[in-house]
A and B are shown apart, each in its own frame.
Chain A
Amino acid sequence: MKKKRGLEVSPFWFLALHLSLVVNSIQGVFSKLAGKQETMSLKWILCFGMMFLTMLVFALAWQQVLKHMSLTFAFTNKPITIIWGLVWGITVFGEHVSPNMVIGSIVILIGIMVGVSGGASDGKKTGRENGEVS
């Protein structure tokens, strides 16, 4: 099989992967919000409940996403959660952003773009979508 360039998954599953990673990053928002509330207060319970809900949604989505791509491809995209964390930090909590964080985010994005465009592995099918069913 000829070595492929570009994405190893369909745009739909690539989008699904990134949506699941957004959910994963939101988990940290609820965790931090819970930390700001009085323990066992209604808001604290609500924030913790939302944290576990996002955790559950991510776990369910991640298992579906993994059916359609290699683990290395999925993991190449995972650091995007760091950048989402930065976005939530600024927009939700008004946190300070250092120059290193901005430079680091740009380098991470470049790394993701390089890694993701690495194409499917050399002739190896990578997921159930491609027929790798044991």
Chain B
Amino acid sequence: MFAGLGKYLLIWIISVFISSIAQVLLKLEANKPHASRLKEYLNPCVAGAYGIFFVSVFMTYYALKYVPLTYSPIVEPLSYIFVPVIGVLLLKEKISKRRILGMAIMIAGIVIFSLGK
């Protein structure tokens, strides 16, 4: 039974992961200069990012058909780990120890908040 649940839990985690990748794609494009404001939005990178968000919504929807919503305090805060890690690795953003501490406190807050639902 756990193996089955684990599969859908993994789908949910992958969904959070790919939407974190999409955020990085948006930032990559935001760092580039564009000829016009319209081209800041109408380009393959931004379109791809929103395509990924779209897929992610359906993956989460599919996973939630089998995984209890009570798992959300564990899965949803993962984006606050994935985004900074991918940001540091791909965008070469530097992150201060104080910001890491702030994010750890936030994740604890999200877990406390969600457990009270």
Contact = CB atoms under 8 A, between A and B. Distances in A.
A60 B29 CA distance: 13
A107 B29 CA distance: 33
Nearest to B86: A71
Interface in B83-114: 83-84, 87-88, 91-99, 101-114
Contacts of B95: 72, 118, 121
B23 interface: yes
Interface stretch (B1-9, B10-18, B30-38, B59-67): B30-38
Nearest to B98: A118
Interface residues of A, number: 48
Contacts of B111: 104
A111 B26 contact: no
B46 to A, nearest CB: 7
Contacts of A87: none
A46 interface: no
A90 interface: no
B113 A115 contact: no
A134 interface: yes
Interface in A70-103: 70-73, 75-76, 78-79, 82, 98-101, 103
A110 B109 contact: yes
A63 interface: yes
Contacts, number: 148
A123 interface: yes
Contact of B105 (A101, A110, A117, A128): A110
B98 A105 contact: no
A43 B32 CA distance: 41
A24 B87 CA distance: 22
Contacts of A128: 30-31, 33
A67 B117 CA distance: 36
B68 interface: no
Contacts of B26: 62-63, 66
Contacts of A105: 109, 113
B96 A133 contact: no
B98 A119 contact: yes
A80 to B, nearest CB: 10
7 contacts: A66-B30, A75-B79, A75-B80, A100-B112, A104-B116, A108-B113, A128-B30
Given A111-B103, A128-B30, 14 more contacts: A60-B41, A63-B41, A67-B31, A70-B27, A70-B91, A76-B103, A100-B117, A104-B109, A106-B109, A111-B108, A112-B106, A113-B102, A115-B99, A128-B33
